[in-house]
A and B are shown apart, each in its own frame.
Chain A
Amino acid sequence: MLSALATLLVCQLAGEVIVRALTLPLPGPVAGMALLFILMLARAPLPKALGDTADRLLKHLSLLFVPAGVGVVQHIDMLGREGLQLIAVVVLGTAITLTVTALTFEFLARLLAVDEIATDHDGTHEPGAGEP
């Protein structure tokens, strides 16, 4: 657990350093994710402690957005007179983006016949278990 947390933080820190050194247009943690991925590829299999810690963090990913969300409520007046139109653009734009992205993915997956793995999935799928 501790070593796993240290691994995550080291990757994040290295990610921050890389992003700043190369002035990449992405946040440090995203670079850290790429770094950890490469590390795991180099030394598979995945350490169990790292897998468990990651699962625990990601299980409650929603919680981590609460402070930012509260900030939005406090700054909601920033939307100003155009608030309704802004929210309309957000809602419509998000629905359009979700639809177009998912349908494009699905269309190509069917065309290339690669979707059989994902479609028979019932939401209780555990990684590594019941793989066809």
Chain B
Amino acid sequence: MSDFVKLWVYLSGSPLLWLTATLVAYVVADAIAARTGRHPLVNPVLLAVILVAGMLLATGTEYPAYFSGAQFVHFLLGPATVALAVPLFRYLPHVRRTALPMAVALVVGSLTAIVSAVLLAQAFGLDRASTLALAPKSSTAAIAMGIAETVGAEPALTAVLVILTGITGAIVVTPLMNALRLKNYAARGFAAGLASHGIGTARAFQVSPLAGTFAGIALGLNGLLTALLVPAVIEWLVK
């Protein structure tokens, strides 16, 4: 037994354990998602997160210890974001043809994301701090946390809300678009990336490369626009 404890102490101090756990949890989650025919409710991110969180809880591991291993996966978000330029380049003719619908949907969608968050927060009687933290929720985490700082919201709370928004969008987008009978995969993907940033974009890439491409464009542009719009909308709507 004490040998096991020694081994545990050794492993839990090295990044190997939680890096492996993250990968294995995702492989299992993805296999389950594939089995259900990529059913939108069986979201591999959510499933893998639940598996890993369960392991952390069971072993009493703190997040910083977990992240020392998981950071290698997290780090790849940067190069992957850069890599979004590749599908954008491949679909350039499509993107050019839809430039105007995209530009209008970007402005309308970005405003809708911010204004709906603020008005719903007020309708549900949330306080000022929560309302401010919700306003940038559709933009990507790095941008949203920057916005939170400039408008005086709690960046950590904003980060939590951003990830929740991403998972919600990834789960809801397919059934919602089917209910709307919308078959335009450029429009579907663009909405997924705009409303739910990278996690929505990841879902869009699972559906089709075209949807993923438009999601990636929306993710980039909406991040920028949200940073410009949130301070103005808050000035206008939040007392």
Contacts and interface: CB of A to CB of B under 8 A. Distances in A.
Interface of A: 5, 8-9, 11-12, 15, 25-30, 32-37, 40-41, 44, 46, 50-51, 53-55, 57-76, 78-79, 82, 85-106, 108-109, 112, 114-115, 117-119, 121, 123-128
Q: Which 8 A-B pairs give the minimum distances between C-beta atoms?
A: A101-B109, A54-B86, A29-B81, A69-B49, A67-B70, A25-B227, A108-B101, A102-B191
Given A93-B120, A123-B207, A63 B97 contact: no
A27 B80 contact: no
B101 A112 contact: yes
B41 interface: no
Contacts, number: 354
Most buried by A among B63, B84, B173: B84
11 contacts: A8-B79, A57-B79, A58-B205, A61-B205, A70-B52, A70-B63, A73-B53, A74-B53, A97-B112, A97-B191, A105-B184
A93 B76 contact: no
Which bracket fits the contact residues of B?
35 or more
Given A93-B113, A114-B97, A63 B48 contact: yes
B94 A12 contact: no
B100 A112 contact: yes
For the complex, would chain A's binding face be called helix, strand, loop or mixed by DSSP majority?
A: helix
A57 B30 CA distance: 15
A117 B214 CA distance: 13
Contacts of A126: 209
Interface of B: 22-23, 25-26, 30, 44-46, 48-50, 52-53, 56, 63, 66-67, 70-71, 73-74, 76-91, 94, 97-98, 100-102, 104-105, 108-109, 112-113, 116-117, 120-121, 124-127, 130, 134, 137-138, 140-143, 146-147, 154, 156-157, 159-161, 163-169, 172-173, 176-177, 180, 182-188, 190-192, 194-196, 198-199, 201-203, 205-210, 212, 216, 218, 220, 223-224, 227-228
